[in-house]
């Protein structure tokens, strides 16, 4: 599975496009009040990625067990220090409503935590590289 995220930003414009294999979609994110940059910061998006991955994987893993999940709630919190420092103390909690016993649902939740791709990527400390830079001069 190949995944990409693309954004374009200029004064008053912040366009975000995602793609997984051949499935392309977009999300509306407003620019900052001054018109440049995103009104959502990277930490918020990172934590949303953690929550979204867990949510989606709960449904995936529940289906394998023939458990019907009717509600998922995930909250992610953590801390960022000075500029350039990585996040620390990332914690998340979840509430699930399902048609299984409490113990089976809790087992599903713990197992899902062990197979969530985003959490496991962060836990593995995967290197990220800037692979290309391209600068242009704007006309005055």
Q: What is the pTM assigned to this prediction?
A: 0.90
Task: Please say if the pLDDT value at position 139 is more than 90.
Answer: no
CB 61 within 8 A of CB 111: yes
Question: pLDDT band at residue 140, thresholds of 50, 70 and 90?
Answer: low
> What is the rounded distance in angstroms from the CA atom of residue 75 to the CA atom of residue 123?
18
Element (H, E) at 123: helix 117-123
CATH number, domain 41-127? 3.30.300.20
82-110 residue pLDDT tens: 999 999 999 999 999 999 999 999 999 99
**Domain boundaries, given as residue ranges, for the chain:** 1-40, 41-127
Quick one: DSSP state of residue 21?
A: T
Report how far Cα 16 is from the mean position of its chain's Cα atoms: 14
Q: Closest Cα to residue 30, out of 22, 38, 19, 20?
A: 38
> What is the rounded distance in angstroms from the CA atom of residue 137 to the CA atom of residue 140?
9
Specify the pLDDT at position 138. 84
Average pLDDT, the chain: 94
Report the share of the chain in percent with pLDDT over 70. 99
């Amino acid at each position: 599975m190949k995944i990409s995220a693309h954004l374009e930003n200029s004064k008053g414009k912040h366009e975000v496009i995602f793609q997984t294999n051949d499935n392309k979609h977009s999300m509306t994110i407003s620019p900052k009040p001054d018109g440049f940059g995103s009104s959502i910061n990277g930490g918020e998006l990172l934590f949303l990625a953690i929550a979204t991955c867990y949510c989606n994987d709960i449904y995936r893993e529940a289906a394998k067990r023939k458990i019907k999940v009717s509600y998922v709630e995930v909250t992610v919190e953590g801390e960022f220090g000075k500029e350039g420092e990585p996040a620390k103390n990332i914690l998340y909690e979840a509430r699930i409503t399902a048609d299984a016993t409490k113990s089976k649902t809790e087992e599903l939740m713990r197992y899902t935590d062990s197979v969530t791709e985003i959490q496991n990527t962060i836990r593995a400390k995967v290197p990220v590289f800037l692979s290309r830079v391209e600068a242009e001069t704007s006309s005055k």
